[in-house]
């Protein structure tokens, strides 16, 4: 009887210590870079994963791994399982602006508008100008002529290490360069040097000091240098700013339009909102005693 009882106890102990049974799922897949959890492997609720052997979360494709399962009673089970690792997430492209505006003539760098290009697992993706780019890099397609006004489209194309692709577009507007504003110097000259009519021309010339007046004035020293040109005056008897010659445009060109006046040959943009603006004549050349000559003055009515 004692032998029978002992044998029964041994059978019961073996039965209690028998290995754990696990129902493993079929067709197991896991996202690239993600941990393998018990719910990925089985639907059983009373067991946990104690250890996973030979698993690489960043190796794409099928992998044969060994998983050690355990339950609350301390029972364990070793299962060989085939797991497929797949990367289904595309890179993320972030731009500083969806619409970029520059002025014709400005420098333009398309990469400056790319805030970041990142893979959800591997992080930053760098710019790559390879002709056959299909992995691990990004490029910008399209062209912008920064010297020519117009609307342009550019596209950022990015690939992660596993070939997933992402695209994002942004627009570039190149605006016309504004006309140069009239300088205060030009406005002052335009106001001071008014073109006389044909009759006024003689009057202007008559207002120039006569030879008698020139003889009466004190001659300037021969070494006098005019500050504007750094040259000696052409007529030592007169000041550096004295007007020596008017070469009028003949016939005078009458204009009543801001753009026409500028296109005729004035070398600086003129402000049509200036208090000196009005209908007038474009003159020819004015020369002063210091050898300074300038074209393009305007006489306003």
Task: Write out the CATH class of domain 92-175.
Answer: mainly beta
CB atoms within 10 A of CB 1: 5
Please check the confidence at residue 263 and state whether its pLDDT lies above 80: no
Please check the confidence at residue 4 and state whether its pLDDT lies above 80: no
Rounded to the nearest integer, the mean pLDDT of the chain is: 77
pLDDT of residue 218: 54
Residue 105, class by beta-carbon neighbours within 10 Å (0-12 exposed, 13-18 middle, 19+ buried)?
Answer: exposed
- Tell me the pLDDT tens digit for each residue of 137-178: 999 999 999 999 999 999 999 999 999 999 999 999 999 998
pTM over 0.85: no
What is the CATH code of the structural domain delimited by 23-86?
2.60.40
pLDDT of residue 238: 85
**Cis bond leading into 146, ω under 30°?**
no
Please check the confidence at residue 269 and state whether its pLDDT lies above 50: no
Please check the confidence at residue 225 and state whether its pLDDT lies above 70: yes
pLDDT confidence tier of residue 249, bands split at 50, 70 and 90? low
pLDDT of residue 283: 53
pLDDT of residue 287: 78
pLDDT of residue 284: 60
- The full set of domain ranges for the chain reads 23-86, 92-175, 184-300
- Unique residue bearing structure tokens 């339950």: 71
Q: CATH topology of 23-86 equal to that of 92-175?
A: yes
Residue percentage of the chain with pLDDT more than 70: 64
Are the CB atoms for 157 and 167 separated by under 8 Å?
A: yes
pLDDT of residue 14: 41
Residue 41, class by beta-carbon neighbours within 10 Å (0-12 exposed, 13-18 middle, 19+ buried)?
Answer: buried
- Tell me the pLDDT tens digit for each residue of 183-214: 444 454 445 544 444 444 444 444 444 454 44
């Amino acid at each position: 009887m004692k032998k029978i009882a002992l044998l029964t106890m041994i059978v019961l102990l073996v039965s209690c210590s028998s290995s754990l049974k696990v129902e493993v799922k079929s067709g197991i897949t896991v996202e690239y870079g993600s941990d393998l959890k018990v719910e990925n492997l089985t639907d059983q609720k009373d067991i946990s994963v104690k250890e996973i052997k030979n698993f690489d979360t960043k190796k794409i494709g099928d992998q044969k791994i060994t998983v050690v399962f355990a339950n609350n009673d301390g029972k364990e089970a070793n299962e060989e399982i085939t797991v497929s690792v797949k990367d289904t997430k595309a890179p993320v492209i972030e731009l500083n602006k969806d619409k970029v505006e520059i002025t014709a003539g400005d420098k333009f760098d398309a990469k400056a508008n790319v805030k970041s290009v990142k893979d959800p697992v591997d992080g930053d993706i760098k710019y790559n100008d390879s002709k056959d780019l299909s992995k691990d890099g990004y490029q910008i397609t399209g062209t912008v002529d920064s010297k020519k006004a117009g609307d342009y489209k550019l596209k950022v194309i990015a690939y992660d290490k596993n070939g997933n692709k992402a695209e994002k577009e942004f627009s570039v507007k190149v605006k016309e360069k504004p006309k140069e504003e009239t300088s205060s110097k030009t406005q002052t000259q335009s106001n001071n040097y008014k073109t006389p009519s044909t009759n006024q021309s003689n009057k202007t010339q008559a207002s120039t000091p006569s030879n008698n007046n020139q003889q009466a004035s004190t001659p300037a020293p021969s070494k006098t240098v005019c500050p504007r040109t750094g040259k000696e005056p052409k007529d030592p008897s007169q000041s550096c700013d004295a007007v020596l010659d008017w070469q009028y445009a003949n016939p005078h060109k009458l204009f009543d339009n801001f753009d026409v006046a500028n296109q005729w040959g004035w070398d600086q943009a003129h402000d049509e909102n200036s208090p000196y603006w009005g209908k007038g004549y474009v003159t020819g050349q004015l020369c002063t005693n210091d050898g300074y000559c300038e074209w393009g003055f305007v006489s306003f009515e």
